[in-house]
Amino acid sequence: MNMIDTHIHADTRSSEDFEKMFVGGIDTAISCCYYPYKIANESVLINHMMRILNFEKKRCEKYGLNLKIALGIHPTNSLKSNKKIFKTLKQLIDEKKITAIGEIGLEEVTNDEIAIFKKQLDLAEETKTKVIIHTPRNNKLNVLKKIKSIVLESINPKLVVIDHINQRVIEEVIDENFMIGLTVQPQKMDVEEAIAILTSYGFDNFLLNSDISNKPSDPLSVPKTMRAMQKLDFKKKSINKIAFANAEKFFNI
């Protein structure tokens, strides 16, 4: 079975994790941009982006994992001075070097976060680039409502993944034209909750990911979810949608 993990942070993980993912059936992963420490200036984040794009992609490929790249300004990396970053993003989009802008969104819902979020959505709408949108662990529903209102005012929702959605907040987004990311990761969601959501809401608008990062993570959470669905006798077509088909179609990979 082909599998795509639609949200990881390759720069935080070991080469052994990439080997595990490939052996476990994951052919492709999308690595998102997030710098887990305070950023002093634009150059730090641009260097981080270039590391993901150039170094991490090659490192994954050594172990059989095809790494696609999403780059953007995570809300916790918001900087007042960001012209160089946006110039870099636009160039990479024009050169077709990135699959999406991401991950972007809101965390503390500061004015700076909102301004940068809107600016990135404008760039995505202008260039018809897909976006991967982060929703926070804390105060998720209230922040999600703000994210949703901004997104619907700024961009075609068919270009958007709203990620890290769980059972407590899914009703807020299920009736929109978003793709919905389910993150099977310790402290976020277990396999059983992901399957419960899919059982209740169907398979057409969902993507699956591990969000492996500097937080507690399981690089095999996507294949574990797929195997659990097989054990429960879900239809092969439904499993394939979540395993790879939805991601292939949405990200055109």
How many independent structural domains does the chain possess? 1
Among 36, 28, 37, 16, smallest CA distance to 70 is for 28
Name the strand (E) or helix (H) holding 66: strand 66-69
Residues facing 69 on adjacent strands: 31
Range of the domain at 193: 3-251
pLDDT the model gives residue 182: 98
- For residue 56, is the peptide bond before it cis, meaning its omega torsion is within 30 degrees of 0? no
Name the strand (E) or helix (H) holding 183: strand 179-183
Phi, psi at residue 137, to the nearest 5°? -70, -40
Q: Is 78 left (phi over 0), alpha (psi -120 to 50) or beta?
A: beta
* Sheet of 26-31, strands arranged across: 3-8, 26-31, 66-69
**For strand 130-134 and strand 160-162, is the pairing parallel, antiparallel, or unpaired?**
parallel
Amino acid at 189: M
Name the strand (E) or helix (H) holding 4: strand 3-8
pLDDT the model gives residue 31: 98
Cα gap 138→217, rounded to integer Å: 18
Cα gap 42→141, rounded to integer Å: 31
The tens place of each residue's pLDDT in the chain, 253 residues long, gives 799 999 999 999 999 999 999 999 999 999 999 998 888 899 999 999 999 999 999 999 999 999 999 999 999 999 888 999 999 999 999 999 999 999 999 999 999 999 999 999 999 999 999 999 999 999 999 999 999 999 999 999 999 999 999 999 999 999 999 999 999 999 899 999 999 999 999 999 999 999 999 999 999 999 999 999 999 999 999 999 999 999 999 999 9
pLDDT the model gives residue 37: 83
pLDDT the model gives residue 42: 94
pLDDT the model gives residue 208: 98
Phi, psi at residue 237, to the nearest 5°? -60, -40
Q: What is the CATH number of the domain that holds 76?
A: 3.20.20.140
Quick count: other Cβ atoms within 10 Å of Cβ 205?
A: 17
Residue found by looking up tokens 């389910």 in the block: 182
Residue found by looking up tokens 């503390």 in the block: 108
Token code pair at residue 245:
């088909």
Give the angle 139-171-129 at the CA atoms, nearest 5°.
80
CA distances from 174 to 71, 119, 224 (A): 26, 25, 24
pLDDT the model gives residue 116: 97
pLDDT the model gives residue 162: 98
pLDDT the model gives residue 79: 87
pLDDT the model gives residue 196: 98
